[in-house]
Structure 1
Amino acid sequence: MTGSGSANLTKGAGKQFLTTDLSSVIPKISEKFSTPQPLVVKIRDSKFPLISMNSKSTMVQQALFTDVCTSGQTVLHLQANSIFKATLSVSDGKLFISLSQKSFDIVQASSSIGSSNAQKLHDWINSIYTHSYLPAMNGMLSRGITLPSILNDKWIKVNIALFQVLQGHRRMA
């Protein structure tokens, strides 16, 4: 999980987001665009997620930048910090990761159209992250990451366990 990535999202089933979807979040958008216009929702991540593991869970913390554009202009830009719970498994020589959203906080938001309703913005972005972004991420991760063959050992059937080192002794957590 290195490098940066981005995704352009839809509502699913090929349906586009429209300016009317944002009217409760940014009321002035209806004045600016009297007829519904398609929205392009672009989400990009920061270069490197912070991955933390302990004996109970694996968490992925990621800064996400979201731009909502229509008619060639950005109408909403925001940065959110998201925390995902990661479920890890190994099968047929690949590491599989599945993410579920644990929490997110909007750090910064700005609109070129007008002020936004903070609670409705939070709900709208949460819905996009949960119903569009997360399924797209899990779809990409479902291909798995090929594990290297070391000394002709193949990663076919593997149990994942985390260990904690205490005072020079290895102890299974």
Structure 2
Amino acid sequence: MEVENTIKIEAVFIDRDGTIGGSNEVVYPGEFELFPFTLKSMEMLKNAGILVFSFTNQPGIARGEAQLDDFLIELNSFGFNKIYICPHQHGDGCTCRKPSPEMLIKAAKDNNLELKNCVVIGDRWTDMLAAEQAGCTKILVKTGSGEKDLSKYQNNQFFGKWLEAAPDYVAEDLLDAVNWLLK
């Protein structure tokens, strides 16, 4: 699916681990390193008048391995307009953990957004599924877990609703994703 040039992109939701930096594993604040192209990519979006939000699952907070404030300070220092974090572990029964679209829905309410005019960029299929359920454009980056999740999809290892969350674009990295959006 092509993003129509007549639709103004209101916001881009970007996953943290594996998308803006780090790896396919969680790296806690203080040790997390951005990819060299991340700040430029975010600046390009902001210069185009697009809000840039972080949305991330961080179960280490619930396990006591990291502090919510440390994530907020770090993500704010990267220049995100707003930050949405699910601090719960898988199996905690929360409604905000991706693949749930709840963080996207909350952001839409908080910022008066039409989710059909928003984009999700992430490296995991859970990002794609959350975006699909919210009606957002979906971009899978091959960094982090992206290559592995793309391979699972291409080898028919996803079924049902997981299969339906095919990305609208597969990008090499965040910069490629942003260039595709802004073309």
Query: Normalising by the residue count of structure 2, what TM-score does the alignment of the two structures yield?
Result: 0.25
Greater RCO structure (CA 8 Å; 6+ sep): 2
Higher strand share: 1
Higher helix share: 2
Query: Normalising by the residue count of structure 1, what TM-score does the alignment of the two structures yield?
Result: 0.26
Q: Which structure's CA Rg is the greater one?
A: 1
